[in-house]
Each structure stands twice: as structure tokens, then as C-alpha cells.
Amino acid sequence: MDIEALKHQYQTRPNLRLVLDYAAGRQNNATETKMRRIHWLLTSQGKQISYADTIAAFRVLQDLEAGQLVLGRRGSHSRFVWSVEMVSLGKAAAGNPNEIQPIPEENLDQEGAEDTDTVSHSYNLRLHSPVTFELPEDLTKGEAERLATFIRTLPIEETE
């Protein structure tokens, strides 16, 4: 990969900079990134980026040989399949002297390998009985309903 071209694109394309700064700030790498998810993550952090600009940023990453942009068809969502570690790529773009690492071979065929960023929620069920949930930060209404339905099945009714 041409690191100088990467740094140039990082400096001249603000939307690409948003994506790469997000990547550099992650703790874990992913082998795949869904476009709607990263767009949601960026905009929920107050970043001003359109969905089309998000796609355009990943087209640049594809041109730089960081991976392949797969556009959604027939109900599947657009995604980017990384060929390099996204964290090292983001750091290198920002000028960190670390080397860009390729995705290890054993990770290339994993399904659902994208890390899900989570948020910890605490609830005081009873006095001195807090309950903590680790839930995806983009939890949907449908997922919340499924979780609520599951929790309703947990009580053990006392028999007389």
C-alpha cells in the first residue's frame, strides 16, 4: 500500500479523515464494516457526513487497496471487506509511524466478524441488586422488544 498516497488522501478528503479517525480510535479490528453502521456511528458522534459521502470515502479506500467495497444488492447491505487491519490503517493515515498490517489469513473467512460496539446499562432491580446489560450501541426497537420478551420468561412462579 502506498502510505504517502494514503496520507495525502487523509489530508485532502475530510470525509475520509472522519472514517479513518474512527478506525484509528477503535481497540479491535474488523474484517468487515457495514456502511449503514459506520454512517450511524459517525453521525451519532455529531460528525457531519452523508451516507453518499461515507460510500465515497470507502471507494477511496478501495482505490488505495485497503479492501473491497461491496455494494448491497437484493436486500443485502453495502459493506467494506478489509484486506488490512483498519486500526493500523487509520493510525498510519494520521501520521503514526506504525506499519499497516494485513488481515491475518485465519480471519478472512469469519462470518459476522465485525465488532459490535456496546454500551453498558445498569438498572437497580432491587435495593443492592443492580443488573448490568452490555448491549449494542445501535440497539433497534425490535431487538429491545425481543429482549423484553425474553426477560418476561425468566421469573419462576411460586407454587402454593
Please say whether the beta carbons of 35 and 54 come within 8 A. yes
> What is the chain's pLDDT, residue by residue, as a tens digit (160 residues)?
888 999 999 999 999 999 999 999 988 888 999 999 999 999 989 999 999 999 999 999 999 999 999 998 877 789 999 999 999 999 999 888 767 878 876 544 443 444 456 677 788 888 888 888 878 877 888 888 988 888 888 888 776 6
- Residue 112 backbone zone (phi > 0: left; psi -120 to 50: alpha; other: beta): left
Closest residue by Cα to residue 33 from 115, 89, 110 = 115
Domains of the chain with bracketed CATH: 3-107 (1.10.10), 118-152 (no CATH)
pLDDT at 99: 77
Torsions phi, psi for 9 (to 5 deg): -65, -40
Query: Which H/E stretch holds residue 60?
Result: helix 51-63
